[in-house]
Chains A and B, each alone.
Chain A
Amino acid sequence: MAQHAWFDRWRDPSEKTLGVLLLAPAFLLLALIVVYPIGKLIFNSFFDLRLSGGTGAKFVGLENYALVLADVDFWNATKNTVLITLITVPGALVVGLGLAMLANLPFKRQWPVRLALLLPWALPLSFAGLIFAWFFHTEYGVVNDVLRRLGAPEPTMWLLRPNWAFAAICGAIIWKTSSFMALILLAGLQMIPKSLYEAAEVDGASRWQQFVAITVPMLMPSIIVALIFRTITALQTFDIPYTMTKGGPGNSTETLAMLIHKTTIDYLDVGYGSTLAVCMFVMSMAITAVYLRRVGQSA
């Protein structure tokens, strides 16, 4: 009998048991890939731990953190990451808003426009990086070819000069990410009731006044969602600079993500790499938190 009762319970468990059972796989995975690694990361950051040498982990306390704060490469990578975020997030917003407003016009056929917005989104970042590296090729790239036709006296060495390389990378990132912005903003635009514009038209409002007084405020929730996700991903920038310049020339385009990858995967210096990762983690969480709060107030 006892077995029967157990079997019935298994076949038709109570709400709470069922809830635990259904949520268990998701939380097990989160524990394995998110929670445990965060703990492990913080733990490792207090050790001198290199997978390359035969020596085991040696407790060094806060020494790694002191090294990070004095590390020129760390500050260089931080500066690059923040700059990329400050340039490409607003850049993608402006371009994305432009694309969304163009795509929101009443076309007879919707699919070419929609596919044109989806393709850059679906493309792997590393593909975009390679394609733009080819665009910006000094000798045979299409960008320099167009500039030459427009009368530029000599070719720009895009990926071989720090500032130009940085600009080229930002351009590639803006192209790649603006279409995601556009898709989110387009959905927002389509939710704005036409009657608002009609009423404004009757009142004699100009196009620009309509844009400022109706489009922007009505679009704010979509803009905020898009900005938050874009900022979080921008702080993790890796693929495009890695495929376009590998961080070069020198380390002028190296981001924090690239520095962490190089330190741990290439040099197998897990202790120091973990410390770098903790610092990046804290910084990006702080930026995200401040951002969410600011955005929460303005919304």
Chain B
Amino acid sequence: MKLMDPRGLRFIAAAIVVLNGFFPALWILLTSLKTEAELVAKPISYLPHNPTLQNYVQAFTDQPLLRYLGNSAMVAVGSTVLSLFVAALAAYAIARLNLKRRQLILTCIVASSMFPLVTLLVPIFETMRTLGLLNTYTALIIPYTVLNLPVCTLVLVSFFHSIPKDLENAAMIDGCTRLGALWRVVLPLAAPGVFTAGILAFVNAWDEFLLALSLNSSASMRTVPVGITLYQGEFSFPWPIISAALIVAIVPIAVLIALFQERVVGGLTQGGLKG
């Protein structure tokens, strides 16, 4: 006996998944359009009656949101580029060179991500303090690069494996050096892999909270995940303004994953190490 036709069931299944994923963002969007008066009215209304964009203006004036976004972008882009560069070199050596103990080398790099970062917070904080790097982009770019090294290396190793060795040999017969072949032949062919690893690294760096909170605490150097928690005062929680700031901060990352979803999913299942 069929209770319902399969198309109806499928629709319900999709609706559950979509609702679960989008509901929080949707609720924040609705909150961001409400006035303070409407927010405290009871019973709470789900849809804003007099939608206002005033909260978005205040999101930028109450806190230096633009500055936070800029800092996040600098740190995320910087560490993404650096981790791709370092991981590409290491992955090439692991995938292509005739090295003993290549598995051990890969394990070392991946295992480093198993160490709880929180416990390393203290010495990293001390080191950056000694080097005078607290409240600089460098203070975050270097640890984030290490944080992303395992994912990037894993994704790139598997991409390098998929590139036929003959192409490289041909380039070397034509007079390319080994590094020349890496730069001119292997990397362009591995571009999709580099790109996938890059997106994962970018999202990881964009999202990081604990180090950003601890190492870059001055107002002008805060990243978005940290800065966004500061709209709330001791006793006041201006939720419409916080919501507006959240929407502004969610949009860049949502657009990025929407554009490249297939790559992100592929990369995640290949070497995704983020919870």
Task: Decide whether A and B are members of one complex.
Answer: yes
Residues in chain A within 8 A of chain B (CB atoms): 11-13, 15-16, 18-19, 22-23, 25-27, 29-30, 32-34, 36-38, 40-41, 44, 51, 99, 102-103, 105-107, 111-128, 130-132, 134-135, 137, 139-140, 142, 145, 148-149, 175, 177, 179-180, 183-184, 187, 229-230, 232-236, 238-239, 242-243, 256-257, 260-261, 264-265, 270, 273-274, 277-278, 280-281, 284, 288
Residue from the set B10, B27, B114, B122 with the largest chain A CB neighbour count within 10 Å = B122
Instruction: Choose one: B28, B99, B125; the contact of A134 (CB below 8 Å).
Output: B28
The A interface, classified by DSSP as helix, strand, loop or mixed, is helix
Collect the chain B residues with CB atoms within 8 Å of residue A15's CB.
97-99
Pick the contact of B149: A26, A132, A175, A273 (CB < 8 A).
Answer: A26
Contact between B17 and A113 (Cβ–Cβ < 8 Å)? yes
Structural contact, B86 and A123, CB atoms closer than 8 A? no
List, in ascending order, chain A residues with CB within 8 A of B242's CB: 130, 134
Residue B274 lies at the interface, judged by CB distance under 8 Å to chain A: yes
Q: How many A-B residue pairs have CB under 8 A?
A: 272
Size of the chain B interface, CB-CB below 8 angstroms? 93
B258 to A270, Cβ gap below 8 A? Answer: no
Q: Are B21 and A119 in contact (CB under 8 A)?
A: yes
Contact A234:B275 (CB < 8 A) given known A12-B178, A134-B239: yes
Q: Once the chains are docked, how many angstroms separate the CA of A220 from the CA of B228? A: 39
Q: B214 touching A265 by the CB < 8 A rule?
A: yes
Please give, as numbers and ranges, the residues of chain B lying within 8 Å of A132 by CB-CB distance.
Answer: 24
Minimum Cβ distance to chain A for residue B11 (Å): 9
15 more A-B residue pairs beyond the given contacts A16-B99, A260-B121, with a C-beta to C-beta distance below 8 A: A12-B178, A26-B86, A26-B90, A30-B112, A33-B143, A36-B127, A37-B120, A38-B120, A118-B264, A119-B25, A122-B253, A232-B116, A264-B125, A265-B125, A277-B120
Complexed CA–CA distance, A131 and B89 (Å): 40
Q: How far is the CB of B132 from chain A (nearest CB, A)?
A: 14
Docked-complex contact A40 and B24, CB < 8 angstroms: no
How far is B269's CA from A183's CA once the two chains are assembled, in angstroms? 7
Task: Return the contact of B118 from the options A112, A184, A280 (Cβ within 8 A).
Answer: A280
Q: Can you list 18 A-B pairs, Cβ within 8 angstroms, ordered by A?
A: A18-B178, A26-B109, A33-B124, A37-B120, A113-B17, A115-B21, A115-B257, A122-B257, A123-B253, A124-B225, A130-B228, A145-B44, A184-B269, A242-B209, A257-B118, A260-B119, A265-B214, A278-B119
Indicate if B153 sits at the interface (CB-CB under 8 A). Answer: yes
* Docked pose: A123 CA to B213 CA in angstroms: 17
5 nearest A-B pairs in the assembled complex, by CB-CB distance? A116-B21, A233-B275, A37-B123, A187-B269, A22-B93
The residues of A that contact B87 with a CB separation of less than 8 Å are 26
Bound Cα distance A281, B108 (Å):
18
Q: Contact between A288 and B114 (Cβ–Cβ < 8 Å)? A: yes
- Nearest Cβ on chain A to B5's Cβ, whole angstroms: 13
CB distance from B1 to the nearest CB of A (A): 14
List residues 15-36 of chain B with CB under 8 A from any CB of chain A: 16-22, 24-25, 27-28, 31
Give B72-106 interface residues, CB cut-off 8 Å to A: 85-87, 89-90, 92-93, 97-99, 105
- Contacts A26-B153, A29-B149, A257-B210; A116 near B22 (Cβ below 8 A): yes
Q: Could you tell me if B117 and A236 are in contact, using CB atoms closer than 8 angstroms?
A: yes
* CB interface residues, B 216-251, toward A, < 8 Å: 224-226, 228-229, 237, 239, 242-243, 246, 249-250
Q: Mark B117-150, 1 if CB is under 8 A from A, else 0.
A: 1111111111101000000000000110110010
Task: List, in ascending order, chain B residues with CB within 8 A of A102's CB.
Answer: 13-14, 16-17
Chain B residues whose CB sits within 8 angstroms of the CB of A32 once the complex forms: 127, 142, 146
Q: In the complex where A30-B149, A265-B125 touch, is A187 in contact with B265 (Cβ < 8 A)?
A: yes
* Other-chain residue from B239, B264, B273 in contact with A140 (beta carbon distance below 8 A): B239
Q: Is the CB of A235 within 8 A of B116?
A: yes
Select which of B43, B126, B210 is within 8 A of A239 by beta carbon. Answer: B210
